[in-house]
């Protein structure tokens, strides 16, 4: 187990415009604001479709099962981390019948709106986090 103390630096609200890719928007915000490490505290909104993946084995990086569809979905949450400028995020969707979740992937497009909160931190040596870094 590794326990680190992180110092909060800045907080960002990222509003993803309708029609924009959610993951690419997070990555662009990280690049524009020069964010190295951050928590994705939460995200919410709606998407025009869903395209995510869930792991299917225990290797690193794991094999993936890619659920996807063209149904309008509410985004219940987006959480994760930015490590060395790379995004590792999970998304939870729902419609009027069921919910599902998995890793945030490209091609998930914001429909009406999407807002994500990023909390930048410092003072953490992530070089010991080998397995986590392989996922990003």
Asked, for residue 2, whether it belongs to a domain, the answer is no
Low-confidence ranges of the chain (pLDDT < 50): none
Q: Domain with 91 in it: what CATH number?
A: 3.30.1330.80
pLDDT value for 58: 75
Asked, for residue 1, whether it belongs to a domain, the answer is no
Asked, for residue 82, whether it belongs to a domain, the answer is yes
pLDDT value for 101: 83
pLDDT value for 135: 55
Diameter of the chain measured on Cα atoms: 43
How crowded is residue 118: how many other Cβ atoms within 10 Å of its Cβ? Answer: 24
Asked, for residue 101, whether it belongs to a domain, the answer is yes
pLDDT value for 69: 65
Domain that holds residue 64: 7-135
* Count: domains in the chain: 1
d(CA 37, CA 129): 13
Peptide bond into 61 cis (omega under 30): yes
pLDDT value for 127: 63
Asked, for residue 21, whether it belongs to a domain, the answer is yes
């Amino acid at each position: 187990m590794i326990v680190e103390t992180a110092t909060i630096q800045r907080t960002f609200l990222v509003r993803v415009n309708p029609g924009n890719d959610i993951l690419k928007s997070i990555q662009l915000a990280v690049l524009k604001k020069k964010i190295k490490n951050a928590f994705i505290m939460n995200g919410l909104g709606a998407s025009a479709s869903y395209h995510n993946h869930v792991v299917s084995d225990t290797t690193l990086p794991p094999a993936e099962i890619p659920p996807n569809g063209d149904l309008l979905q509410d985004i219940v949450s987006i959480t994760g981390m930015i490590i060395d400028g790379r995004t590792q995020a999970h998304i939870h969707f729902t419609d009027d019948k069921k919910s599902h979740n998995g890793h945030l992937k490209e091609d998930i497009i914001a429909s009406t709106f999407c807002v994500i909160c990023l909390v930048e931190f410092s003072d953490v040596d992530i070089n010991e986090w080998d397995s986590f870094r392989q996922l990003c």
